[in-house]
Structure 1
Amino acid sequence: MDPELEAFVPWFPRNDLSDPLAARVRFAELAAAVPVDVTGLEIQDRTVPGDPDVAVRIYRPAETRGAVVWLHGGGFVMGGVDTEHPWAARIATASGAVVISVDYRLSPEHRFPAALDDAYAVLTWVAGHADELGVDPERVAVGGHSAGGCLAAAVALRARDLQGPPIRFQLLNQPGLDDRQETWSQRNFTDTPWFHRAKAAAAWRHYLGSQAATPYAAPARATDLAGLPPAYIATAELCPNRDEDIAYALRLMRAGVPVELHQWPGTFHGSQAILSADVSQRQNAELGAALRRALSE
């Protein structure tokens, strides 16, 4: 483990998902402690009409390069636009993109496909309101952390299959893509900080309930990845999701999809929140830079 990160491990929270309500409170407390810099950003809360309506928070830099429908992490159980506020602001500043942060419905109260339906509804709304939002409808990306990365990948699959709004790029940061948990990293990372095998299993149980997973729930189950948008996939070395993310990147490449894969040595799932570490600063900067490149080309 990176020494700067390792120094924080004794104090890093071990939040589990056995009690979703308690987990959400703790997650919100942690997010509130993260510093936020909104200099140069115009921020607006909006409601995307639908069944049900979906709340979004829009971050607009002074000079925009397209837009990204952004999906927060939290194991499908925790989080929202408030907890994602520090990270959405960073993405907007670093990328120059209009960030539309989605307050999708959470499990277990709202199981699959509720969160995916919300995310896809927002993508459709962004495409239909591109002029109002001041973005090029041909320069719209999807992205997210962890569970949000899963949802972003699933949105890309659904948009391809339904011939929906065009997606320029998918930015997948440490996504959870496979409910089967059969990879080496899923089987062996049972005590890693913040996120480990048992927590991943709990997240999938809350999200799926008694349903059988489909590719729209767990994108690693998709048999055909051809025709998907170019992707940037970032993995953490000490993360249960690591191997399924690398496998997904390889499968995308074999299907003819351009992929940039960045495996960050010495890091663990969520360690980017330790902002004082040099590797965290580089990880966060690279997410924004990757999105900037994709929307500028």
Structure 2
Amino acid sequence: MQLDLVDPELHRAVRRMPRLPVRGKVGRRIVRAVVRRGGIGKPAAGVTITDVDEGQRIRLYTPAGGGSGAALLWVHGGGYLIDGIAQDDALCSTTARELDIVVVSADYRLAPEHPFPAALDDTFTAWQWLQASAGKLGIDPERVALGGSSAGAGLAACLVQRLHDAGGTQPLAQWLLAPMLDDRTAARRELDPAQHLVWNNAANRTGWGAYLGGLPAAWIGVGDIDLFTDECRAYADRLREAGVDCAFDLVPGAPHGFEG
């Protein structure tokens, strides 16, 4: 993708952004190590940053005076592959100060070592911890928003749906920055040549493939006069597009259940 499509104000930052080597194990280790050392920008002054260990890392950003009683549960990005709780220190602390709220940043286990639903389970655990700790933190449990960026925003959106289905106290709002929502985007090979800046579709396939764990090889057989012919063919095509080894066997003149 050409740099002239980027807003001039962002040129310098985009030029400095390296292509993330997330497709290989060694590359992921290097990126994770770099991200753990620090984030983008400096934390905002006047905000207390503390870490809590509840079987996973939870980082609190508390404004001077303790805040207004509202809170944000934040989930970092990283394509489900990169450890980044520190990368958002500046964003989370500035949000806490400017909005006078407590921000709770949730860490989560990473793919491919921990595929779905590990990351979602961890964000759910962070939500439960926040709700249980609301009194101690000076938070109204019914004034909590969910937010995140990229894969973190996708996790936040997914968590909202999970909480809706589970019932109980619900998030007050969603704040989603460029959410990574749909794994089907990764299967759209026509998007590859665009080489989107910062995160392209090749990286997207790596992230989704790692998070969803990949699928085993498949054989699909169906008759050509079966009600399900078209959807079976479409599913086989989608599996192949996603890099799954798939054989599709179309049997002429065979209705549904003919193999019986």
Q: Distance in 2 between matches of 1:93 and 1:25?
A: 32
Task: Indicate conservation of the 8 Å contact 1:74/1:147, yes or no.
Answer: yes
In structure 2, the CA distance between the partners of 1:139 and 1:21, relative to structure 1 (3 Å rule), is farther
In structure 2, the CA distance between the partners of 1:186 and 1:43, relative to structure 1 (3 Å rule), is farther
Task: Indicate conservation of the 8 Å contact 2:80/2:211, yes or no.
Answer: yes
Q: Distance in 2 between matches of 1:202 and 1:103?
A: 20
Q: Distance in 2 between matches of 1:69 and 1:158?
A: 15
Q: Which of the numbers 1, 12, 20 marks the counterpart of 1:15?
A: 20
Q: Which residue of 1 aligns with 2:137?
A: 133
Q: Which runs of 5+ in 2 are unaligned?
A: 1-5, 217-260
Deviation at 1:47, TM superposition (A): 2.0
Q: Is 1:61 aligned to 2:63, yes or no?
A: yes
Look up the SS of the partner of 2:209 in the other structure.
Answer: helix
In structure 2, the CA distance between the partners of 1:8 and 1:111, relative to structure 1 (3 Å rule), is same
Look up the SS of the partner of 1:122 in the other structure.
Answer: helix
Look up the SS of the partner of 1:181 in the other structure.
Answer: helix
Task: Indicate conservation of the 8 Å contact 1:61/1:93, yes or no.
Answer: yes
Q: Which residue of 2 aligns with 1:96?
A: 100
Deviation at 1:184, TM superposition (A): 8.4
Q: Distance in 2 between matches of 1:45 and 1:16?
A: 29
Look up the SS of the partner of 2:185 in the other structure.
Answer: coil
| Letter of the 2:57 counterpart | A
Q: Aligned residues, how many?
A: 208
Q: Which residue of 2 aligns with 1:4?
A: 9
Task: Indicate conservation of the 8 Å contact 1:20/1:77, yes or no.
Answer: no
Look up the SS of the partner of 2:64 in the other structure.
Answer: coil
Could you list the structure 1 runs, at least 4 aligned residues long, displaced by more than 6 angstroms after superposition: 182-186
In structure 2, the CA distance between the partners of 1:10 and 1:41, relative to structure 1 (3 Å rule), is closer
| Letter of the 1:74 counterpart | G
| Letter of the 1:60 counterpart | T
Deviation at 1:202, TM superposition (A): 0.8
Give the TM-score normalised by the residue count of structure 2: 0.72
Task: Indicate conservation of the 8 Å contact 2:40/2:89, yes or no.
Answer: no
Identity of aligned residues (%): 36
Q: Which of the numbers 120, 143, 148 marks the counterpart of 1:116?
A: 120
Task: Indicate conservation of the 8 Å contact 1:108/1:206, yes or no.
Answer: yes
Task: Indicate conservation of the 8 Å contact 1:123/1:165, yes or no.
Answer: no
In structure 2, the CA distance between the partners of 1:100 and 1:211, relative to structure 1 (3 Å rule), is farther
Give the TM-score normalised by the residue count of structure 1: 0.64
In structure 2, the CA distance between the partners of 1:94 and 1:188, relative to structure 1 (3 Å rule), is farther
Task: Indicate conservation of the 8 Å contact 1:47/1:54, yes or no.
Answer: yes
Q: Is 1:44 aligned to 2:72, yes or no?
A: no
Deviation at 1:183, TM superposition (A): 9.7
Q: Which runs of 5+ in 1 are unaligned?
A: 213-297
Q: Is 1:146 aligned to 2:150, yes or no?
A: yes
Q: Which residue of 2 aligns with 1:256?
A: none
Which is worse superposed, 114-123 or 95-104? 95-104
Q: Is 1:199 aligned to 2:203, yes or no?
A: yes
Larger Rg: 2
Deviation at 1:55, TM superposition (A): 1.4
In structure 2, the CA distance between the partners of 1:62 and 1:9, relative to structure 1 (3 Å rule), is closer
| Letter of the 1:99 counterpart | V
Task: Indicate conservation of the 8 Å contact 2:191/2:201, yes or no.
Answer: yes
| Letter of the 2:147 counterpart | G
Q: Distance in 1 between matches of 2:133 and 2:190?
A: 40
Q: CA RMSD in A?
A: 2.5
In structure 2, the CA distance between the partners of 1:16 and 1:62, relative to structure 1 (3 Å rule), is same
In structure 2, the CA distance between the partners of 1:113 and 1:97, relative to structure 1 (3 Å rule), is same
In structure 2, the CA distance between the partners of 1:167 and 1:10, relative to structure 1 (3 Å rule), is closer
